Amino acid sequence: MIKLKKMITDPTQTSDDDKKRKKHSIEMEMVILESDHKKLVAQKTALEAEIRKLKYDEERIRVTLDEKKKELESATYTLSQNEEESGRLKKQLNLVI
C-alpha cells in the first residue's frame, strides 16, 4: 500500500517565491524601459540633426531665392530699356522714311 504524504508548504517559501517573481518582473520592466529610452534618445538625436540640416537648406534656398529675385529685377529692367530703345529706333526709322 502506498502512503501519500501531505505536502506541507512553507509560507515563507511562498513569500520568497512571490518576491523573486515580483523582482524579476520589475527588472524586466526596467530593461524594457531602458531599451525604449535608448530608442527615443536615438530618435531625438536623429530628428535634431534633420532639423539642423533643413534649417541649413532653408537658409541656402533663401539666399538662392534672393539672388534669383535680383536677377529677375535686372532682366525686367533690361527688357524695359530694350523696349524703350526699340520704340525710339522705330520712330527714327519712320522719320527717315
- Provide, rounded to the nearest whole percent, the portion of the chain with pLDDT above 90: 77
Burial annotation 70-91 (CB, 10 A radius, 16+ → b, else e): eeeeeeeeeeeeeeeeeeeeee
> Which tens digits make up the pLDDT trace of 15-42?
888 999 999 999 999 999 999 999 999 9
Its pTM stands at: 0.58
Look at the block and give the residue holding cell 527588472: 27
> Which tens digits make up the pLDDT trace of 40-82?
999 999 999 999 999 999 999 999 999 999 999 999 999 999 9
Question: Is 50 exceeded by the pLDDT of residue 7?
Answer: no
